Amino acid sequence: MTDWKNPPRLFIPGPVKVNDDVLQQLARPTLGHRLGEYTQLHSETVTMLKKILFTEQNIFLFTSSASGIWEAAIRNCVGPDETVLCTMCGAFSDKWAGVARSCGRDVEELKVEWGQATLPEMIDEKLASGKYAAVTIVHNETSTGLTNPVAEISEMLREKYPDVLVLVDSVSGMVGLPSRFDDYGWDVAFASVQKAFAIPPGLAVAAVSDRALEKSKAVPGRGYYFDFQAFAKSAAKNQTVTTPAIPHIMALNYQCERLLSEGMENVWDRHRKMGEFVRAWAKERFALFCDEKYASNTLTAVKNTRGINVGETINAIQEKHNTVFGNGYGKLKEETFRIAHMGDITLDELKELLGWIDEEIG
Ligand SMILES: Cc1ncc(COP(=O)(O)O)c(C=O)c1O
């Protein structure tokens, strides 16, 4: 029997488990969003996010989930008569291409098989035609547990296609995986906070380059809720356009302080260690779904080579230990299962969970 007031501990790849001290931040007294206390909270949070994302450019806080920024990035950075190259390697990158199309943009697809990475040379071959205003890339494909080689892709783009805007969904990558926004030359990179920031869902964060902001000025039909120009105007006053999810921003502020005191290199290293541990377990008993070279350090998609009943295993562990991990996403349900190792999940907790899975599968 499910009981939402006594929910399982979450090892699904988002939302992930949130620590009690983080939850408590959401219960602080509320602030008036046009008053000094909020501008102080906003300013502090943005200053820390700039350090965390390695950028001196713009940070915007979105009271929406990350899907809103899929739309925002397209509506602000790709003109109605321009073409965007959408790289696709799994369910979420596929969805973004659909969102771009739903915004009325001309979309060209660059598809690889699920579980494979998108490589710089593939993008290079497409961009050589010169017809693209922007390219979309999913940093970490949550459906397949794959991290695209974004450092290499970014280097190629910077050298050969400096005029093409680089739009990056880093939803399950941000904070857990190395990335340096300004060095990479990215134009928009975003995540929702229920992944490696380890905060309940309800807020998303984006870094936006100055040139993306400049470009958006001339793009018609940006709409209201996701207009970068309006965001920039409010951000200059350390505010948001509409009433933001203030409790979430308090929790984000708290998590940013923790991340910076740990140091980003250490945070990435902690994720790498968790990734290595879960991959070693998965390879001994099953196999990895994706090409191991690109296996993610924030979640593992395990290929169900033993034909276990994934749904039943998840239910059994929930019943006995009030803990859940993730079934495969979409068409990969039962064929794979997914274990998150991001945010405030610890190696000890992972050991415990994997031990319980071992007990179930025998
Ligand atoms: C890679 C990726 N992009 C986008 C999304 C959509 O994010 P949200 O649910 O916050 O809108 C998800 C959600 O899991 C995701 O994993």
pLDDT in tens, 169-218: 999 999 999 999 999 999 999 999 999 999 999 999 999 999 999 999 99
To test the pocket of ligand 1, the residue of 62, 92, 179 to mutate (highest count of ligand atoms within 8 Å of its CB) is 92
Q: How high is the mean pLDDT of the chain?
A: 98
Task: Domain 9-17+263-361: give its CATH code.
Answer: 3.90.1150.10
Q: How many alpha carbons lie under 13 Å from residue 267 in its C-beta half-sphere?
A: 25
118: left (phi over 0), alpha (psi -120 to 50) or beta: beta
pLDDT in tens, 117-163: 999 999 999 999 999 999 999 999 999 999 999 999 999 999 999 99
Confidence at residue 362, expressed as pLDDT on a 0 to 100 scale: 87
Confidence at residue 94, expressed as pLDDT on a 0 to 100 scale: 97
Dump the DSSP string for 199-219: --SS-EEEEE-HHHHHHHHT-
Q: Is the CB of 192 under 6 A from ligand 1?
A: yes
Contact 204, 191 (CB under 8 A): yes
| Residue 243 in tokens | 């009433």
Confidence at residue 201, expressed as pLDDT on a 0 to 100 scale: 98
Q: Which residues of 13-46 are buried (b: 16+ CB within 10 A; e: fewer)?
A: bbbbbbbeebeebbeeeebebeeeebeebbeebb
To test the pocket of ligand 1, the residue of 172, 226, 248 to mutate (highest count of ligand atoms within 8 Å of its CB) is 172
Q: How many alpha carbons lie under 13 Å from residue 151 in its C-beta half-sphere?
A: 5
| Residue 102 in tokens | 């739903």
| Residue 204 in tokens | 């998303």
To test the pocket of ligand 1, the residue of 64, 65, 88, 194 to mutate (highest count of ligand atoms within 8 Å of its CB) is 65
Confidence at residue 2, expressed as pLDDT on a 0 to 100 scale: 87
298-317 mean pLDDT? 98
Instruction: Assess whether pLDDT exceeds 80 at residue 1.
Output: no
Task: Domain 21-261: give its CATH code.
Answer: 3.40.640.10
pLDDT in tens, 224-255: 999 999 999 999 999 999 999 999 999 999 99
**Which of 212, 354, 341 lies closest to 276 in space, CA to CA?**
341
Q: Is the CB of 25 under 6 A from ligand 1?
A: no
pLDDT in tens, 19-37: 999 999 999 999 999 999 9
What are the structural domain ranges in the chain? 9-17+263-361, 21-261
Q: Is the CB of 64 under 6 A from ligand 1?
A: no
Q: Is the CB of 190 under 6 A from ligand 1?
A: no
Q: Is the CB of 99 under 6 A from ligand 1?
A: no
Instruction: Assess whether pLDDT exceeds 80 at residue 48.
Output: yes
Q: Rounded to the nearest whole angstrom, what is the distance from the C-alpha of residue 140 to the centroid of ligand 1? A: 10
What percent of the chain lies above the pLDDT cut of 90?
Answer: 99
